[in-house]
Chain A
Amino acid sequence: DGGITQSPKYLFRKEGQNVTLSCEQNLNHDAMYWYRQDPGQGLRLIYYSQIVNDFQKGDIAEGYSVSREKKESFPLTVTSAQKNPTAFYLCASSDGQGGTEAFFGQGTRLTVV
């Protein structure tokens, strides 16, 4: 089945620790995105990538890093510099052709313990 797979579904991070969230897609999409959602809030863009080996900061990139070494994969690292990382993280992809539809993975819920 084609789709977007995020892992893990739940993740717990200790203070001062870096963690990496996985996002893989087999839709052959060029564009991939990471969003953060806090309770009762909309989606805020962290990073996005329109092509392999290139990515752009979104509205809230501080404390996060990404890589796009393969078309299928767009991992997000939440670094210790992110002071309030507890949130629901959503990865999405689109074919990147003129504002086409984006589809989401099932999300990763990150909690700082």
Chain B
Amino acid sequence: QKEVEQNSGPLSVPEGAIASLNCTYSDRGSQSFFWYRQYSGKSPELIMSIYSNGDKEDGRFTAQLNKASQYVSLLIRDSQPSDSATYLCALTPQGGSEKLVFGKGMKLTVNP
């Protein structure tokens, strides 16, 4: 099993809808979790980090972490066409190393 699994999609939602992106991971000891947004041809941009169980909200974005079930999700409320991008889930695995492991990403399209 890969360390970080994302449904590669693509996911298409209408403008104004809620987009839900999910990620599961295999290393139960993983401590830190991140969501990056990557526009086509550009480098990834950090949009959310979450370190403890529960929800973390930042504007239209909510990250949810459930360590018992080993999943992390990102909700985008009131989706806008400018949210159309690939969303990458990442984590730091157990073991004290600072390396960052990424999922393959989910392409989101928000239709006007």
| Chain A contact residues, CB within 8 Å of chain B | 31, 33, 35, 41-45, 48, 50, 56, 58, 90, 92, 94, 96, 98-107
Contacts and interface: CB of A to CB of B under 8 A. Distances in A.
A69 to B, nearest CB: 19
Q: Which are the 9 A-B pairs with shortest beta-carbon distances? A: A99-B32, A42-B104, A99-B92, A104-B43, A43-B102, A31-B98, A107-B43, A42-B102, A96-B98
Contact of B51 (A31, A99, A104, A106): A99
8 contacts: A33-B100, A43-B44, A43-B88, A45-B99, A94-B100, A99-B98, A102-B90, A103-B46
B60 interface: no
A106 B43 CA distance: 5
A105 B98 CA distance: 18
A5 to B, nearest CB: 12
Nearest to B4: A42
Interface residues of B, number: 23
A56 B100 contact: no
B67 to A, nearest CB: 14
A101 B102 CA distance: 13
Interface of B: 6, 31-32, 34, 42-46, 49, 51, 88, 90, 92, 97-105
A58 B93 CA distance: 13
Given A41-B104, A48-B99, A94-B98, A100 B46 contact: no
Q: Quick one: which of B88, B97, B98, B101 has the most chain A CB within 10 A?
A: B98
Contacts of A106: 42-43
Given A42-B88, A42-B102, A101-B49, A107 B97 contact: no
A92 B42 contact: no
Nearest to B93: A99
A100 B7 CA distance: 25
B11 to A, nearest CB: 15
B31 to A, nearest CB: 5
